[in-house]
Structure 1
Amino acid sequence: MSFLKPTTLAEYYATNYSKCTETFSVFASQDFLLIGMKLEFLVILPINMFGFYCILFKSTKYMKEFKWHLFHLQFWFLLLSIFYSILTTPIHFFPAQVRCSIGFLRERGVGPLFQVIVVHFVYAGIVSAVVLLFENRHRHLAPTTDFSYRIHKSPRILLGILNFSVGITNTIPVVLQEETQEFLKLKYLEVLPCPMDLYFDVCSFAQSKRITGWSLLAYLTNVLVTVEIAFFITHCFFCLRKSQLVDTFSVRTKRLQVAFFKAAIAQVAAPLVVLFLPFIMLFYLLATSANLQGLINICVLFIPANSAFSTISLLYFNAAYRKFIKGLIQVPALMEISNNRVAVASSV
């Protein structure tokens, strides 16, 4: 199929796009994504609310400080799920760096650029909460003689500023990109010549892939935060192993330290496991430039599920919450057995 080289999106839509013969499945439609996201939200919200209830009211006295870090991280995970499932509901046009938000914010007239900025800030909150979670574990595991113990004091404020600045630095290249939306969308049509017609809607927003000073700053802050999280996790692991050999710690204290560290790892790792398939799909699309919009929409549905899987891992790996859930399950079973015995006795 031969394509002309139009200079505007309107011209492309009237000429080249009319020659496209692409057929999209029901999974590629915006109705599928909207309905799927709403149904998913109805499942995710009760799971998260139950998780918050357990954190606030079923945490033991040994989790007095730790529970607030669990709550903090879970709050940002839930916020990301709400933005993706209800507020923005983005359709991504991979391998083109273009997305079209069709959720509640679009109905209220919120521009696509502002929606992208808000999602970046939510991402910054997640990063900050993850670091604070492991910094809390590190503070309780690292001995006062360790070189890293000084992180426990005033440098924590600097760490907090650095971690949240990730969202800001990721937003700067988007806000200050020099190319116009018309130019970027036309450029990406060379990679994806026959997208869904929503690509040409005002809801779509394109991000530049050009390397600038601001984009390098964004990459640098992301690398620094990744190294920071890796340091806390690795150093916590080694400090934890050393603490198990210290005779002055009680057996209960050693078990609690191990349990809390496992719970923190599980709460962070569970969403990453959920997002593994979308990441693999993204790399495949970037490598092949295939137009698989239906599969992309299915992968997008995995993103809001991160908070539910994080909550489930949180409840499973914390003994206090696990014990509470077992009690909820066993009580109805015992009542049913008791009622059956009464019924049998009455019949006799």
Structure 2
Amino acid sequence: MNVSLLASPQFYSRTLYVVGCISIPIHIFAGYCILFQTPISMKSVKWNLLNLYFWSTFMDIFLNIITQPFLTPPSISGFLMGLIHYTGLDTGIVLYFGITMMAFVGVSIVSIFENRYFILCGQNTWWRRVRYPFLIVNYLLASVHYIPTLIEIPDQIAGRKGMFTMYPKARVFDNPENPIYVISYEKNDWYAIREASIILMFTAEVTGFVIPVQIYMRRAVKKFNLSEHSISIQKTFLRALHLQIAIPALIMLLPHVATAILGIFVSTSQVTMNISYIVISMHGVFANLTMMYVHKPYREYCKSRVCFSSRVDRFVSSTGLFSTHTAQFFSLTLYTIGFFSFPIHLFGGFCILFQTPESMKSVKWSMFNLHFWSSCLDLTVSLLTQPYLLKSTWSGIPYGILIKFGVPLSLQMVAVSIITIFENRYFLIFAEHTWWRHARYPFLAINYILGLLYYLPTVLSVPEQSSAREIIFKEFPEFRALDTPSNPVYVLVLNNPWVSVRQIAMEATVVIETLIIVLLLKMKMKNVVKEMKMSESTAKLQKAFLKALYIQVSLPLLVILIPSAISVFSGILGISTQSVNNLVYITFSCHGLVSTIVMLTIQMPYREFCMGMVGKSDRRQRKVTVSNISARSSTQVTTF
């Protein structure tokens, strides 16, 4: 393909993936702010803000990651390069949902300004009876306005032939695996008229609500219908709302206008089209960033997440702890790791669900089970809880989003899921026709029950918090500065060595069970090769898969076990420091990220898929590494 870098599909796709992965954590944080940080004074507009947020965010992710529509001007045609390409869904239906989603963003903008109009001007007028039918009609028009275009889409073989005749340069982008999808290759004024009409309709509706509100505000000041304070609050909120809508709207409209003008007077190049859609794909992230900046409650919350409270600042200043043992360092590092790892977790889950070949279906759900709990553990530690444990004590302060402890349960689910993978391999290869097929489910059930219950004695023995905190503060008076009424120090245990014993016992159980199953696998592999119950090629493939599995599990497992062991034994020996505690949990929070990256690297199907996405191919031998194998006593087992 002899095209410039900016015009190439590879540049377009990779840029959108980068933008999408960076924006996902911002979208999640913005949604959290709307749901949990919207004050009572903004409750009348909360769900309208959430509606706009939902459609803007969904449109961003739809463009950046799911579809990545690569348009080939000057005809209305192109192809999808995102993850949905691998699902085989009809391109026309996908386009319908994409265009409809953009229209829903427009309706959600209208609904916000309609809400302001209703609250300030229309509660006691005829509008209170008309508003819901009005919004329903808007959503219906947004849903059906693209259907005529969908009906007019030509037969694709004839459409591509006609397009390549008129625009032969477009042929360079066509390929059998992902052919160009032609919506219209001839001049179609009605398509442009329909799209322009829906945009003008939404613009007129927004204007129709904004102008009466502005007039009402001026009259209210003159007639003293509202106090100066109320007027000031309403003006500030409306100004923030206008900025929140205007900035993302310009990001959407300006590329469209520029592309249309170039198409009329010059010609729309592939570079222009690519850059336009890359800019448009940033609409949602700019909308969320603008919202969090212009609305004071969200802005103040963001500042508090970065700077913490004044009490924490005083604690840092008084003790000189501006390094690895400070709460600021701990929380900011975990937020950074969490936001960076979240898109990688999503991508890892997608690979397991949609890129696992048929030959690996026997282990697919066990791998997804491990990935799910590993990701949950990561997000629990890095984003949701952030347990800032105080040195030499079983106490701490959660700084995460949920402000709750919950790590031990997630940790044990990860451990049990690791056992499940190795047990799955042992069962499929060697034990399908032995007594183990009757014992395996009770074995796994017992493991999950132990994982759920092992922490229960600790929870039941949690001391009364007021007196326990006083004991901790008496021994470590510097911790009192961190205690606040809204987020007090939580004391889990006072002088109870059994907590450490139970932790060590559970970790030892997991390690011993895993080692036993792994050793049985190795012994059985040697025996079946010697007894010719499995061909050498089959045995080689199974060994390769097991080797990859050992690496996939052992590296992340070390990321969990080593910090846990350091934390437990340093506490027992009385040499624990705040820096050690912080670094232990920061390392701990990287477990799922390491697990996902290792899985994507060492498992060949996922590695091939990742390299294909960046335009490269793995030159190693392309053989499938695993299959559904059952060792039977008298039959030689083969794969494929």
> Normalised by the size of structure 1, how large is the TM-score?
0.74
- Correspondence for 2:459: 175
Aligned with residue 608 of structure 2, among 307, 323, 333: 323
- The correspondence of residues 155-304 of structure 1 with structure 2, limited to 5 A, is 155-177=439-461, 179-188=463-472, 192-195=476-479, 197-198=481-482, 202-208=487-493, 209-210=495-496, 223-275=508-560, 278-279=563-564, 281-282=566-567, 283-284=569-570, 286-291=572-577, 293-304=578-589
Aligned with residue 139 of structure 1, among 427, 432, 444: 427
CA contact (8 A) 2:396 2:490 kept: yes
CA contact (8 A) 2:529 2:535 kept: no
- Percent identity among equivalent residues? 22
Distance in 1 (CA, whole Å) between partners of 2:557 and 2:477 is: 32
Distance in 2 (CA, whole Å) between partners of 1:182 and 1:223 is: 35
Look up the equivalent residue of 1:204 and give its one-letter code. Answer: V
CA contact (8 A) 1:66 1:136 kept: yes
Look up the equivalent residue of 1:70 and give its one-letter code. Answer: M
Q: For the structure 1 residues 169 and 143, does the alpha-carbon distance in structure 2 shift closer, same or farther, using more than 3 Å as the test?
A: closer
Alpha-carbon shift at residue 240 of structure 1 (Å): 2.2
SS in 2 for 1:104: coil
The gaps in structure 2 that reach 5 residues or longer are 1-314, 618-640
Aligned with residue 377 of structure 2, among 54, 75, 80: 80
- The correspondence of residues 77-156 of structure 1 with structure 2, limited to 5 A, is 77-106=374-403, 115-116=404-405, 118-142=406-430, 149-153=434-438, 155-156=439-440
Deviations 1:170-197 (A, max 9, x none): 3322222163234444444576453373
Distance in 1 (CA, whole Å) between partners of 2:416 and 2:576 is: 35
- Correspondence for 1:12: none
Q: Count residues in correspondence.
A: 299
SS in 2 for 1:253: helix
Distance in 2 (CA, whole Å) between partners of 1:223 and 1:203 is: 33
Alpha-carbon shift at residue 74 of structure 1 (Å): 0.6
Alpha-carbon shift at residue 277 of structure 1 (Å): 5.8
Distance in 1 (CA, whole Å) between partners of 2:425 and 2:571 is: 39
SS in 2 for 1:100: strand
Distance in 2 (CA, whole Å) between partners of 1:280 and 1:246 is: 42
SS in 1 for 2:588: coil
The gaps in structure 1 that reach 5 residues or longer are 1-17, 107-114, 333-348
Q: For the structure 1 residues 193 and 235, does the alpha-carbon distance in structure 2 shift closer, same or farther, using more than 3 Å as the test?
A: farther
Aligned with residue 591 of structure 2, among 302, 306, 314: 306
Whose relative contact order is higher, 1 or 2, with alpha carbons under 8 Å and at least 6 apart?
1
Look up the equivalent residue of 2:426 and give its one-letter code. Answer: H
- Correspondence for 1:335: none
Deviations 1:55-85 (A, max 9, x none): 2222222101212111110100000111111
Distance in 2 (CA, whole Å) between partners of 1:26 and 1:218 is: 29
SS in 2 for 1:194: helix
SS in 2 for 1:247: coil
Distance in 2 (CA, whole Å) between partners of 1:129 and 1:299 is: 23
Alpha-carbon shift at residue 22 of structure 1 (Å): 4.0
Look up the equivalent residue of 1:161 and give its one-letter code. Answer: A
> Is 2:344 aligned against 1:60?
no
SS in 2 for 1:249: coil
Distance in 1 (CA, whole Å) between partners of 2:390 and 2:565 is: 16
Deviations 1:255-290 (A, max 9, x none): 221122223222221223334663465234653535
Distance in 1 (CA, whole Å) between partners of 2:585 and 2:507 is: 22
CA contact (8 A) 2:416 2:451 kept: no
Q: For the structure 1 residues 30 and 176, does the alpha-carbon distance in structure 2 shift closer, same or farther, using more than 3 Å as the test?
A: same
CA contact (8 A) 1:41 1:82 kept: yes
Distance in 1 (CA, whole Å) between partners of 2:401 and 2:557 is: 26
Higher mean C-alpha displacement, 49-58 vs 88-97: 49-58
Q: For the structure 1 residues 276 and 160, does the alpha-carbon distance in structure 2 shift closer, same or farther, using more than 3 Å as the test?
A: closer
Deviations 1:11-52 (A, max 9, x none): xxxxxxx9xx74312433333333222221122112222222
- The correspondence of residues 31-42 of structure 1 with structure 2, limited to 5 A, is 31-42=328-339
Q: For the structure 1 residues 231 and 192, does the alpha-carbon distance in structure 2 shift closer, same or farther, using more than 3 Å as the test?
A: farther
Look up the equivalent residue of 2:339 and give its one-letter code. Answer: L
SS in 2 for 1:167: helix
Q: For the structure 1 residues 185 and 73, does the alpha-carbon distance in structure 2 shift closer, same or farther, using more than 3 Å as the test?
A: same
Distance in 1 (CA, whole Å) between partners of 2:615 and 2:562 is: 36
**RMSD (CA atoms):** 3.2
Deviations 1:287-319 (A, max 9, x none): 35354x244323322122111111122122212
Look up the equivalent residue of 2:607 and give its one-letter code. Answer: R
- Correspondence for 1:48: 345
SS in 1 for 2:496: coil
CA contact (8 A) 1:76 1:122 kept: yes
Alpha-carbon shift at residue 234 of structure 1 (Å): 1.8
Distance in 2 (CA, whole Å) between partners of 1:236 and 1:70 is: 18
Look up the equivalent residue of 1:173 and give its one-letter code. Answer: P
> Normalised by the size of structure 2, how large is the TM-score?
0.42
Distance in 2 (CA, whole Å) between partners of 1:307 and 1:313 is: 10
Deviations 1:86-115 (A, max 9, x none): 111110112211121111113xxxxxxxx3
CA contact (8 A) 1:47 1:311 kept: yes
